[in-house]
Amino acid sequence: MFVVVPSASAAFRFGISVEGKERTCRSGIRGEGADKVDGYESVNDRGIGMIRLTAFDAEVANKVCGVLEPFLLSLAKSSKPITLRQCSQIHAKLILSQCISQTHLTNTLLNLYSKFGHFRHAHILFDHMPHRNVVTWTTLISSHLRTGSLPKAFELFNHMRETNESPNEYTFSVLLRACATPSLWEVGLQIHGLLVRSGLERDKFAGSSIVHMYFNSGNNLGDACRAFHDLLMKDLVAWNVMISGFAHVGDFIMVHRLFSEMWEVPGLKPDDSTFVSLLKCCSYLEQVKQIHGLASKFGAEADIVVGSALVDLYAKCGDVSSCRKVFDSMEEKDNFVWSSIISGYNMNDRGEEAVHFFKDMCRQRNRPDQHVLSSTLKACVELEDFNAGIQVHGQMIKTGYQNDCFVASVLLTLYASLGELVDVDKLFRRIVDKDIVAWNSMIMAHAQPGRGSGPSTKLLQELRRTTSLQIQAATLVVVLKSCENKLDLPVGRQIHSLVVKSSISHHTLIGNALVHMYSECGQVGDAFKAFIDIVRKDDGSWSSIIGTYKQNGMESEALELCKEMLADGITFTIYSLPLCISACSQLSIIQVGKQLHVFSIKSGYSRDVYVGSSIIDMYAKCGTMEESEKVFGEQVEPNEVIYNAVICGYAHHGKAQEAIDVFNKLEKNGLTPNHVTFLAVLSACSHSGYVEDTLYFITLMLNKYKIKPESEHYACLVDAFGRAGRLEEAYQIVQKDGGESAWRTLLSACRNHNNTEIGEKSAMRMIELNPSDHASYILLSNIYTGEGKWEEALKCREKMAKIDLKKDPGSSWLI
């Protein structure tokens, strides 16, 4: 007969004879520790020893049970997984030694089976147990709840009640813990009823579980407090449940009061869990430091959960160095800590280091979880480090988290920024439980500039039709942003009505997006109405409405609104400032422009590239190119936008050589010119009649920078050829690539060089492209006049009058 004992030496101690040392190894699952005399631990670490009993009698069997009991217990406590084979062997020994009828031993075996997930065998043992008690039932119910099998747990619980076995405080604790979620609120209430009937309501275990349940199943603060009040014994856990409950709802005053009360209880000291809840209530750095100090005093600093909460909070308060200090001081690091440090560095604009932490963590052979992966990937997306992003994607496939909702939401954003929309769709469709944020990411991925509101609206409809998810303000903001011109106005209005009907209409972000949408669709009046409707106008709201007026040629009104904004207590931001400066340049109000320039220096915003470039542009447009050059020279780290502004300035001033010089400087500084840069330098060259240079830059653009010239770029070339009288070449280009402006340029060149033939063709084409543009009719009529063809000229003017067109009056500024 075989029996399992902690070690051969332990068996000797219990008077069980052992037959041959090599026999002790026959189970194949023990290591060399069996012949050591140092007790049970060594066996748990190395495996299970096995000995052969020479004889069987009741006395020996009793001794065997005596050995088995502590052994089984130590196995149950061990963190090392126990295989099914090992469990079965123990099971066999229990049967053979007749210990199976000793319920407390069998309960422990049952615990072993179920703790390590061998549920089928656990149930076989359960079914064959001669005697069951409340522990038997509780063990099985608890392990089903641990693995998330709620129906099985409740089925067992009902079965237990049918057999007249009364649940005890242990049974109630595990069941109530499982009910601490909003969806199981009703079940929890029923169990509370049973608990009251059983008379265990005031037990510290069952009772604190009740308190916890009321907090977690829908913020029933009153019921939670009553249950806490009724407790016979308020121990540390009970206090912690209360503190964490109020911390969770953000009632920091109550947390503070509870903590002080607890402080007064003799013999009660806060522990790790208390500090974690207290940390949750911190809203600024000084508080974090205080709790940190207190936690150190009570020795809770070394706890891994306190540590990761500190890492997280220091990062959120912007104190990266303290965050790093805590992180470095932690001996043990789990996924919580890693994900906290990665997201912490990323939120403090140190994404590169965040990605480094991820690499460190992988190098140390930690297996990243979905939290770590999504934080890292977000850093990659924000850094636009797509190579790193794709590497992280590799890790996701390896770890099997590719289809996790959080992970996939960022992943599809990554592929959207790479323009891989097919992959985006694939990733999205694979997510099993799509939540609203996943939908938002998906809609955002498809709301790309130039695609209009079509794709995002289609997704919004699918979302509303196929799910019951609550639409967020962010969802509609994304759809509104995809409305980019008049064609999208009907969609924009529909979303607006959706907003009015929903509960999110008071959101400032939604209001701002509505203003922006009406602005993009050219509806200044509606934009203003939407602006008025915003309950709490922020700097974004003001920027949007000021931008609307400026965009639609109402610069004076835009500047008036600026004054109102300042009167409303909102100061300029890097968004509103360039708008106002640009309005000044449009209006040529250099005095106001100068004031804004001074403000931008004082506020430190002048370092922003958009502010800087708007100032450069403003001085250039107001005719003081020297000021413009000065501001350009003051730029600490000029980028393409800054260079573009100054090149544009030179172009406006007809200074082609200066424009070319700046362009060369840009290249020398390692920057890449974009299509705006080329437009600026090309227009400078063509305006000065530099035909060869114009051709050179068009070629450079195409060959070196692989930028496809748009019709505006070709218009410059047409202009250059036109000024030089090379009308045939100009005509060739316009025929191939010309848009409206190229035709217009060609037409006026024809007029200057008295070319009726090409001029007439150009004018016809222009009228075709835009029949409501008065300029084409006038240019054509002027050509006829120059040629002395009075009748044709008159016909042309009549045609214009017929479709009710008048020449816009000219305007000029005088200040």
Partner DNA sequence: ATAGGGTTAG
84-123 residues near DNA, rule: CB under 7 A: 103-104, 107-108, 111
- Of positions 99, 276, 361, 766, contacts DNA by CB under 7 A: 276
From 133-141, 182-190, 557-565, 631-639, span contacting DNA (CB under 7 A): 133-141
User: What CA–CA distance (Å, rounded) separates 24 from 2?
Assistant: 10
Using the minimum distance from each CB to DNA, give the nearer residue, 439 or 549. 439
Question: Using an 8 Å Cβ cutoff, are 315 and 323 in contact?
Answer: yes
Please, what is the minimum distance in Å from the beta carbon of residue 186 to DNA?
19
Which of 9, 240, 745, 748 is in the footprint of DNA by CB under 7 A? 240
For residue 746 the two structure tokens come to 């060609």
Q: Which residue has the tokens 């319920």?
A: 103
Check binding of 475 to DNA (CB under 7 A): no
> Per-residue DSSP letters for 228-297?
HHH-S---HHHHHHHHHHHHHHT-HHHHHHHHHHHHHSTT----HHHHHHHHHT--SHHHHHHHHHHHHH
d(CA 381, CA 415): 9
| Side chain identity at residue 164, one-letter code | N
Can you tell me which of 5, 50, 122, 238 binds DNA, judged by CB under 7 A? 238
The smaller minimum CB distance to DNA, of residues 180 and 715, is found at: 180
Spatial separation of the C-alpha atoms in residues 406 and 370, rounded to whole Å: 7
Q: Using the rule CB under 7 A, give the single segment among 2-10, 31-39, 136-144, 444-452 that binds DNA.
A: 136-144
Residue 332 CB partners (closer than 8 Å, separation 6+)? 304
482 within 8 A of 452, measured Cβ to Cβ: yes
Tokens read off for 603 = 């506020």
Q: How far is the CB of 428 from DNA (least distance, A)?
A: 11
SS3 (DSSP) at 415: helix
Query: Between residue 168 and residue 197, which ones bind DNA under the rule CB under 7 A?
Result: 168-171, 173-174, 177, 180
Nearest distance from C-beta of residue 501 to DNA, angstroms:
24
Helices 691-703 and 711-723, packing angle to 10 deg:
160
Residue numbers 253-272 binding DNA by CB under 7 A? 271-272
Site string (320-349) toward DNA, x via CB under 7 A:
--------------xxxx-xx--x--xx--
Minimum CB distance to DNA smaller for 30 or for 378: 378
Among 280, 333, 550, 652, binds DNA (CB under 7 A): 280
Q: Nearest distance from residue 688's CB to DNA, in Å? A: 49
Considering the rule CB under 7 A, would residue 223 count as an interface residue with DNA?
Answer: no
> C-beta of 332: minimal distance to DNA in Å?
11
The one-letter amino acid at 360: D
Position 319 contacts DNA (CB under 7 A)? no
Compute how many residues bind DNA; rule: CB under 7 A.
79
Query: According to the binding rule CB under 7 A, does residue 435 interact with DNA?
Result: yes
- Binding residue for DNA (CB under 7 A) from 68, 156, 392, 407? 407
Sign of CA dihedral 771, 772, 776, 781: positive
Mask 775-814, x = binds DNA (CB under 7 A)? ----------------------------------------
Q: Least distance in Å: CB of 149 to DNA?
A: 15
Q: What is the DSSP-derived secondary structure letter of residue 218?
A: T
| β partners of residue 72 | none
Residues in the chain: 815
Tokens of 683: 């227009």
Nearer to DNA, 344 or 722 (CB): 344
| Paired tokens of 402 | 């590719």
- What is the full DSSP assignment across 4-44? EES-HHHHHHTT-----TGGGGTTS---GGGG-SS-HHHHH
Closest to DNA by CB, 218 or 689: 218
Q: x/- string (CB under 7 A) for DNA, residues 285-304?
A: ---------------x--xx
Q: Find the shortest distance in angstroms from Cβ 490 to DNA.
A: 30
Residues 438-457 that bind DNA (CB under 7 A): 438, 441
CB 61 to DNA: min, Å = 19
Q: Is the dihedral of CA 159, 163, 166, 169 positive or negative?
A: negative
Among 92, 237, 285, 554, binds DNA (CB under 7 A): 237
Residue from 92, 134, 294, 778 touching DNA (CB under 7 A): that is 134
Burial class (CB in 10 A: 0-12, 13-18, 19+), 695: middle
